[in-house]
Structure 1
Amino acid sequence: MAISSYDFVAIGGGSAGFNAARVAVSLGLKTAVIDGARDLGGLCILRGCMPSKTLLYMADVLHLAQKAKTFGLKIPSARADMKAIHARKKKIIAEFADYRVKALEAGRFDLIRAHAEFVDAHTLALSNGNRVRAKHILIGTGSKVSVPPVPGLADVPFWTSDEVLDLDFIPKSVIVLGGGIVACELAQFLNRIGTRVTLVQRSANILRDHSPGASTVVQKAFVDEGVELFAGTQLQQVRHDRHGFGVEFIHDGKIVRRRAAHLFNALGRDANTAPLKLAAAGVDTRPNGQIITNRWQQSTAPHIYAAGDCSGPAEIVHIAIQQGELAARHAAKVKGIKPVDYSLLLNVVFTDPQLATIGRLEDDLDASGTPYLTASYPFNDHGKSILMDANYGYVKVIAEPKRGRILGAEIVGKDAGELIHAFSGPLAMKATVFDLLRAPWYHPTLAEIVTYPLEEIAEKIEAR
């Protein structure tokens, strides 16, 4: 049994682990990445952000082609060729994955292809029979699909996002369990390629982590496109037979039953930490398996860090990267570092209309008793969005009431994920609505819609 020693070890070669290792090496730490997955690259590249957004964009193009008559165009037929779509997705993802694999194998740090578990606070036993000792360890093992205690769910061959993202045919019908980001994005994708979709959500609104106003806009778009949507339900039973799947739930006080050829379990994800035997290292977790960390990403064992989906609080790639890099710098005792600033949290849902938020939002400000002003403006009253037939949604700006410093923004509408970045720099620089109004905004563009709530807040402040 061979034993290797390192200054810094990252368990998991995804966004958190890879970037932590990259920074650790640059700071002079002897570093290794341990990853036993069949394919290298991490969740985002292989089974998350990149394949899903590739498919979603293709579905957007299809949707526009199918509504060509709205724009005075004659396109006799537009339908999905899933074999071709699947091939294009595989080609694109292979290019991203190949780039990451080359970076992992470049030799700047050791890459150990094995699974790991803790023997003690500094020692890892590997699935290849060897052991690794490290002064500092970063856990970046991501997340896995959750299977909540819905009667019958664990006993049926449901799909996860992995299977949906790997489809090479158009399913006849699918029941989607869940109303979070993954559920909504892929439910709309399935509906647009020609699948009959029923979405069953337990909470009162889909996208429950966002405001009711924003989620209601997306919900209306789904229903308008033909998704059968039930929110505020209580799941009672899941069944499977040779004819397909049956789901029984309570909605508006009545028992409702639906059947479909396939079932997509999108009821959430749990941290992928159980195989690590964290108790042996003195690392505490939350009930969902997420590792409890402080502002430096340290766990309850101070030399062991965690970043990304396995620690939270936001399962977002750029947050995982920031957390991983911060952990490496803290382990290397870099002076003057600062924790991740979650007041700048940026979030995008790639439905159509898209939903995007940044900074501190109304619920958070209300809970802390922080005063604020808001103003919003609808897409269906804006020139560029009207000519694009992109009438769903609004842009909302949230600002401090005395000087107008921008606190946050919420956009639900066409290209919201792009438009929200109009606030990224200003928020980081603590800019005011007056600062943004001094900037030029070209007409006619989608981006200029943000000037209307900015002007309204400025007028409120000046009136005071």
Structure 2
Amino acid sequence: METEHFDFIVIGGGSGGYAAARTAREKMERVAIVDGSKELGGLCILKGCMPSKTLIYASEILHHAKDGKTFGLDIPEASVDMPALHRRKLEIIKEFSDYREEQLKSDRFTLFRNQAAFVDESTIELDDGRRLSADYFVIATGSVVSVPPVQGLSTCPYWTSDNVLDLDTVPERIIVLGGGIVACELAQFLRRVGSEVVQVQRSPHLLREFSAEAASVVAQSFRDEGIELHTGTRLVSVQHETGEFRVTFEKDDETHTVCAPHLLNALGRRPATDCLNLEAAGVETLSSGHIGCNSKQQTSNPKIYACGDVAGPYEIVHIAILQGELAAKHAIDSEHEAVDYDDLVSVVFTDPQVATAGLTEEELKRRGIDYLSADYPFDDHGKSILMEAKYGYVKVFAERTTGTVLGAECVSKDAGELIHAMAVAVTLNATVFDLLKVHWYHPTLSEIWSYPLEDIADEI
């Protein structure tokens, strides 16, 4: 069978893959996208960002409605209509996925609805036997749910985030394994729509990629809302008998067992590389399972790039897009700046939300950077007090002598929105003195940034 040749082939049509294909098409004529998933759209649209944030926002509204008396409101009853919520989520997803499908199927690209595996360093074979070759490839196959070696877990009918995001009923009681972003966001969603939630986390604190201080605020919020939270555990076993899950774990030298009819495995994800036959292409992987890349997203085969969850180091949509664009630009002319992870923005959509921009305090210490820091709590801030949004704080890190903002942390309602003021500052190398020229409007949540900025400016 004849091999069809392209200038550029992207394997995976999610956010990163589409960004790579779109960018390559600006200069290259023959660009193909290979995506054998059941639906087009990618993880973010279909099973990640869009459905989860739709449900999380709805549960936040419900939470406030149930707390109406605190605001002087008489709301006799507030409850979730899960079938209606499910339908709304599907409508929103469809709007985004239809648009992405239209983009992928446009005559700018050649779309193959197939699985692919490499047969050599420049050729892939599709699952229907056809072969395609290219001058350049981008691997953007994303990630899949990971199943850690916990006794009994792999053989149990556990739920993944996919199952939770597809619910049209409220589980009476559920055990959530994990304390990462997905675990925390979905645990709080389930609690707010009416489930009894038991969350079991192996690390000493939730959200281990964020500071212990930030995690403690989220943990307190969870406990205040009635989530039974266990951190610092060692999972021993998972059993499933007569419709009930039994999770046994050790904590503080004691053995505990929790039971529920449902179990969510949210213990992480791993790169989706199993069927790609990377060895044939000369593409090496790291101990984490991620595809090893240089700063230009090139793999150990310089004609093959990787982006997004499959490459790491951050499983964030906007990072996947930046990496995909960089890969295509580098393939075109090789002279482009790498993605600057020192400007990274991260957000967790719990309530309170957790958000960071730039370098974390842990990273500043690791690098030996001389910095100043200042913080301010939301329970002493006008707008947050009247909103009953008192959980959390803001914190700013700045270079000691110049006041250049190096990073910031925000734990609060809408922290994901508030953090962008500091993200702009970090990216543009603004100083605290620059930011104090800003008109910080009162009363807003955003004006809270002015307090730590003033403290650092005074200290300098």
Deviation at 1:334, TM superposition (A): 5.0
- Alpha carbons 1:284, 1:291 under 8 Å: kept: yes
Give the whole-Å Cα distance in 2 for the aligned partners of 1:278 and 1:90.
35
- Alpha carbons 2:8, 2:28 under 8 Å: kept: no
- Alpha carbons 2:65, 2:75 under 8 Å: kept: yes
Deviation at 1:128, TM superposition (A): 1.6
Deviation at 1:358, TM superposition (A): 0.6
Q: Secondary structure at the match of 2:157?
A: coil
Deviation at 1:425, TM superposition (A): 1.8
Corresponding residue number in structure 2 for 1:384? 383
Q: Secondary structure at the match of 2:25?
A: helix
Corresponding residue number in structure 2 for 1:401? 400
Deviation at 1:322, TM superposition (A): 0.3
Unaligned runs of 5+ in 1: none
Give the whole-Å Cα distance in 2 for the aligned partners of 1:199 and 1:428.
36
Corresponding residue number in structure 2 for 1:419? 418
Give the whole-Å Cα distance in 2 for the aligned partners of 1:196 and 1:79.
15
Give the whole-Å Cα distance in 2 for the aligned partners of 1:290 and 1:128.
27
Q: Secondary structure at the match of 2:222?
A: helix
Q: Secondary structure at the match of 1:276?
A: coil
2:207 corresponds to 1:207: yes
What is the correspondence of 1:230-245 to structure 2 with a 5 Å cutoff?
A: 230-245=230-245
Between the two proteins, what is the percent identity of the paired residues?
56
Deviation at 1:244, TM superposition (A): 1.2
Q: Secondary structure at the match of 2:411?
A: strand
Give the whole-Å Cα distance in 1 for the aligned partners of 2:243 and 2:405.
55
1:386-432 Cα shifts (integer Å, max 9, x gaps) = 00000000000000001100000000011100000111222111100
Calculate the TM-score normalised by the size of structure 2: 0.99
AA of the residue aligned to 1:429: L
Corresponding residue number in structure 1 for 2:110? 110
Q: Secondary structure at the match of 1:55?
A: helix
Q: Secondary structure at the match of 1:76?
A: coil
- Alpha carbons 2:7, 2:28 under 8 Å: kept: no
Corresponding residue number in structure 2 for 1:344? 343
Give the whole-Å Cα distance in 2 for the aligned partners of 1:253 and 1:104.
54
Corresponding residue number in structure 1 for 2:227? 227
AA of the residue aligned to 1:442: Y
What is the correspondence of 1:250-289 to structure 2 with a 5 Å cutoff?
A: 250-289=250-289
Give the whole-Å Cα distance in 1 for the aligned partners of 2:74 and 2:141.
50
Q: Secondary structure at the match of 2:384?
A: helix
Corresponding residue number in structure 1 for 2:137? 137
Unaligned runs of 5+ in 2: none
Give the whole-Å Cα distance in 1 for the aligned partners of 2:168 and 2:433.
51
2:155 corresponds to 1:161: no
Q: Secondary structure at the match of 2:275?
A: helix
Corresponding residue number in structure 1 for 2:98? 98
Give the whole-Å Cα distance in 2 for the aligned partners of 1:56 and 1:432.
35
1:164-216 Cα shifts (integer Å, max 9, x gaps) = 00000000110000000000000000000000000000000010000000000
Give the whole-Å Cα distance in 2 for the aligned partners of 1:109 and 1:447.
43
Give the whole-Å Cα distance in 1 for the aligned partners of 2:149 and 2:424.
43
Deviation at 1:28, TM superposition (A): 2.4
AA of the residue aligned to 1:380: D
Corresponding residue number in structure 1 for 2:13? 13
2:147 corresponds to 1:147: yes
Q: Secondary structure at the match of 1:423?
A: helix
Q: Secondary structure at the match of 2:435?
A: helix
Deviation at 1:243, TM superposition (A): 3.1
Deviation at 1:145, TM superposition (A): 0.2
AA of the residue aligned to 1:101: E
Deviation at 1:297, TM superposition (A): 0.2
Q: Secondary structure at the match of 2:246?
A: strand
- Alpha carbons 2:178, 2:268 under 8 Å: kept: yes
AA of the residue aligned to 1:262: H
AA of the residue aligned to 1:416: A
Aligned length in residues: 460
- Alpha carbons 2:201, 2:233 under 8 Å: kept: yes
1:300-351 Cα shifts (integer Å, max 9, x gaps) = 111110000000010000000000000000001153x100000100000000
Give the whole-Å Cα distance in 1 for the aligned partners of 2:426 and 2:367.
19
Moved segments of 4+, more than 2 Å: none
Corresponding residue number in structure 2 for 1:39? 39
Give the whole-Å Cα distance in 1 for the aligned partners of 2:250 and 2:334.
55
1:353-382 Cα shifts (integer Å, max 9, x gaps) = 000001011111111111110000000000
AA of the residue aligned to 1:147: V
AA of the residue aligned to 1:374: S
